[in-house]
Structure formats: structure tokens, C-alpha cells
Amino acid sequence: MYVHIARQPVFDVHKKLFAYELLFRQTLGLSLGELSGDRATTSLLSTAFLTEGIEKIAGNKPCFINFTENLLLKEIAYSFPKNKIVVEILEDVAPTPEVIEACRHLSQQGYILALDDFVYAKELLPLVELTNIIKIDYRLSTPQEIERLQYKLSRFSIKYLAEKIESYEEFEHARKLGFHYFQGYFFARPESLRITEIASNKTSLLRLLMEVNKRETSVERLEKIIEADVAVSYKLLRYINSAYFHLLHQVDSIRQAITYLGEREIRRFVTLVIVSELAADKPTELVRLSVLRARWCELLAENSQRAQDVSETFLLGLFSLIDAILDMPMEQMMEKLPLSNEVKEALTVGKGPLAPFLQAVVAYEQGKSKECLQALRMIKVDPAKVYDLYLDAVKFASIID
């Protein structure tokens, strides 16, 4: 049986990554709706901690994990490090004396407790007293309801997490309401589509990005570009000597790095660095997700039974969030970048031969199993390989700090 999981970032008020929520996606041919909550969580825990290793999935960040009443009473959480998990108590868990006692023991042992989809009820107060974080569905709550809730719970030492934040405007609004943490896809959306020009300090980076992706650019030209920029040179040496490559001997010169990686990999690396610099004022997770998508699309192409230029799919994934990075409409960005028509078509209208690669990735991220499987059929990739490819992409994306 194959178990698929994904992760969704949780940010703090500074838009810095605080944690991930691990999400059960599906086993092969079996959706979340067909599994009990107990089985979904135990499968997720087993895969994340015992099979793959949590560091591989989440780095050094803690993970929010859903716990049912049954799993709380069975004390499953004690099998996992308290600094690696946040015990997320589902909204349908009744505050029975047994549940309260189980949560009290977890709290005393130093585990962080969170209440999911919280709606105020007096009988929940004994659980609230033991809780560190309360998650509130931002879209189902009015500002007045949130303020009333915070007033009622003001005697407790609690931090609030806003779920389903989908835009920067919502992020700012939730922050002003007193939320400490934020979850959703807001980092993957432009802050404003009214901006029509790129900030002047990013213009040179965009020109460099265009130069790097020109088909006629040579290895010698790429070498000059790298050596002319101390930051790019430093990041290249750090990148090639990272754990991702498992090199036996350290590479300590730009020429060595270029020789080892080759033109395609050097071009790709410089593109990654430039995109990262363009997003310097955005959450790091935005760049990390771009890189993850790039590698994942590339791996899907490598494992596809239909002929495909894998370098094109890498760029497809990498630029899938360029509108959010530069706060410009995707159509306007595609006019500025020297990308193929196939990449531009996939990014602007979601059509063409490359579109299903990105559709498979985005559907997996959002837990849309049916759409993901449909896209995988179109690109002729075995669904049984998808999770391993995802983990490889996660590891690759870890090069982004």
C-alpha cells in the first residue's frame, strides 16, 4: 500500500516559516474520505517518522498532526519527539474527563497542543486551559466574532492561528486582529495586481534572468556572470557542496563547479539564485515552493512515458509563482521572459502539452486526488512513483534557506 502525504506551511507574523502541517493525501486509489481519521493519522505518522524520517520532510520545523479522540486516549503522541510534533486536536473530539486527562499529561510532558477549527463552547474551557494554540477558520468567522472569542479567552495564555488565509490583504487583516500564526496559500498569490512595473532594484536581476535563459548563452558567458557576482559564486559553491550531491571531495572553485555540473545544471542553478533574489522581500517558503515545483515537474517529465524536454518542465514549475514573486500578472511576466511558447501557454491559460505536469503538482498540493490522477494519466506517469518523486523534490528544495 502506498501512502501519500503533503505539507502546508504555517507562518508567523513576520512571514517566517514556523511549522508545517502534515496532510494525509491518499493511498494508491484510496482517498482520505474512505479512511478513518485514526488510520489516516497513524499512516501519516508511520510514513513521516518511521519510513522517511521527519527531517527529510520538514527539516528542523515542528509538524502539526491531527489527533482523533481514540489516538489521544491511546497515547500515540508519546511515541514521537515533543519538539517535532504539535498535537492538533480535531474539532469533533469531545472534552470528556478521559480526553482532558490525556491532554493534561501531554501538556505536562512538554507537548504543544492545538485545537483545530475552534468554535467557542463553555464545555471546551478545560481543554482551552491546556492548549497552546487555537486554530480558527478565518473565512467562517467575522472580525466581531474573533474579537469576542479573544475577549472570552483573554485569561488564558493562548496564541491564535488563522486558517485559510488566501491573500496578503487577509494576512494583514488577520495580523491586526491579533493572530500569531497563519496558514493558507496567501504566500502564493500576488500582493497586488495593480502594480504594472517591476521595482527598479529588480530590473537588473530580471535582465540577468533573461540572459541566463537565452538558448545561445554559452558556458563561458555563464562563468563570467557567476564570477562577476560574489553572492552567486558563494551560493554556487555552497550548493554543489551540499548534502544533495553527496560529493566525496569538496569543490572549491567556480570552474570546478561548472565542469562538474555542466551547462544545463549551471544555467538552472543561476536561474534559481536569481529567482531567490527577486523574492528577497517575500516569505522564503514562496521560493522554496517554486523550487520544489520545478524539481517535481522535472522528475515527472523524467518518469513520463511520453517524450518531453525536462529542462522545460523545470522552468514551468519554477516560474509558476513568478507573478506572486514580482506582484505582476502572469501574462505580463510572460511577455518579459524568454521562455518557450509551451511554458508560457501552460502558465497563462493552463493549456498545451506542458500544462498537465503543473496540474498534477498543484492538485497534489491541494489534496485533489481525482484531478491529480487525471493529470498523471495525461503525462503517462505511474501514480505509484509520485510520492517518492515528491520527497526528492522536497529534499532538493531544502537548498533554499
Q: What is the pLDDT of residues 258-291, one digit of tens each?
A: 788 777 787 788 888 888 888 877 888 888 899 9
- Same domain? For 332 and 369 the reply is yes
Mean pLDDT of the 107-127 span: 94
Q: What are phi and psi of 11, to 5 degrees?
A: -105, 160
Percent of the chain past pLDDT 70, that is, above it, reads: 84
Do 369 and 266 sit in the same domain of this protein? yes
Residues near 73 by beta carbon (within 8 Å), at least 6 away in sequence: 98, 99, 102
Count of positions (residues) in the chain: 401
E strands within 280-384?
Answer: none
With a threshold of 0.85, does the pTM exceed it?
Answer: no
pLDDT at 242 over 50: yes
Q: What is the pLDDT of residue 53?
A: 63
Q: What average pLDDT does the chain have?
A: 83
Bridge partners, 113 (sequence order): 87
What's the pLDDT score for residue 26?
57
Q: How many CB atoms lie within 10 A of CB 36?
A: 10
Q: What is the pLDDT of residue 45?
A: 67
Cβ burial 1-32 (10 Å sphere, 16+ → b, else e): eebbbbbbbbbbeebebbbbbbbbbbbeeeeb
**Cell numbers describing residue 226:** 557567476
Residues 308 and 213 in one domain: yes
Report the range out of 6-15, 32-41, 96-105, 324-333 with the highest average pLDDT: 96-105
Question: What cell does 136 get?
Answer: 480558527
What pLDDT score does 35 carry? 47
pLDDT number for residue 203: 67
195 pLDDT higher than 50: no
C-alpha cell at 342: 509551451
**Residue range(s) defining the domain that contains residue 353:** 200-397
224 lies in the same domain as 367 = yes
pLDDT at position 266 is: 79
- Examine residue 110 and state whether it is found in any structural domain, yes or no: yes
Mean pLDDT on 373-398: 90
Task: For residue 194, tell me if it sits in a domain.
Answer: no
The cell numbers describing 51, all together, are 519510513
Q: Looking at the domain assignment, is residue 195 inside a domain?
A: no
Question: What pLDDT, on a 0 to 100 scale, did the predictor assign at position 230?
Answer: 75
- Domain check: are 43 and 150 in the same one? yes
Q: Which residues contact 245 (CB under 8 A, 6 or more apart)?
A: none
The total of structural domains in the chain comes to: 2
pLDDT of residue 252: 78
Contacts 24+ apart (CB under 8 A), 373-381: 376/300, 379/300, 379/301, 379/304, 379/306, 379/308, 380/304, 380/305, 380/306, 381/300, 381/303, 381/304, 381/305
- The verdict on residue 193 lying in a domain is no
Task: Confirm whether 264 is domain-assigned.
Answer: yes
Of 95, 114, 196, nearest to 159 (Cα)? 114
Using one digit for the tens of pLDDT, what is the confidence trace for 18-75?
Answer: 999 887 765 444 443 444 556 666 666 655 554 556 777 777 889 898 888 888 998 8
Higher pLDDT among residues 3 and 293, named by residue = 293
Residue pair 88/62 in contact (Cβ under 8 Å)? The answer is no
Contacts of 328 (CB under 8 A, 6+ apart): 190, 193, 195, 196, 198
- Per-residue pLDDT at 209: 76
Convert 168-221 into a string of H (helix), E (strand) and C (coil): HHHHHHHHHCCCCEEECCHHHCCCCCCCCCCCHHHHHHHHHHHHHCCCCCCHHH
104 and 11 within one domain: yes
